[in-house]
Amino acid sequence: MNKKSELFNIWYNTVDTIVIPNMQQNYFYLGSELSKGALVDIICGDNNRVCFVWQKTDGTRELYKEWCSRGSNG
């Protein structure tokens, strides 16, 4: 499904994205060059939580692997 980011004024396909509500994980992603250009939206998710919407890229896949290897505390 296509959706427009009002924040960034771009269209993206939700099938090609991942929604992350964990702010520590988002901060980790934001601090890496691997995520450059991959943040496509910031939305209100379940239970009114702020969620970041990331494009699925090789970089975000690598960041996910790194995040998981850090353990549950991030």
- Supply the pLDDT for residue 20: 97
Whether residue 12 has pLDDT greater than 60 = yes
Among candidates 3, 71, 67, 2, which has minimal Cα distance to 30? 67
Confidence of residue 72 (pLDDT cuts 50, 70, 90): low
Give 23-65 pLDDT, tens digit per residue.
Answer: 999 999 999 999 999 999 999 999 999 999 999 999 999 999 9
- Supply the pLDDT for residue 66: 97
At 50 the three-state DSSP class reads: strand
Whole-angstrom distance, CA of residue 63 vs CA of residue 55: 12
Confidence of residue 73 (pLDDT cuts 50, 70, 90): low
- Supply the pLDDT for residue 71: 74
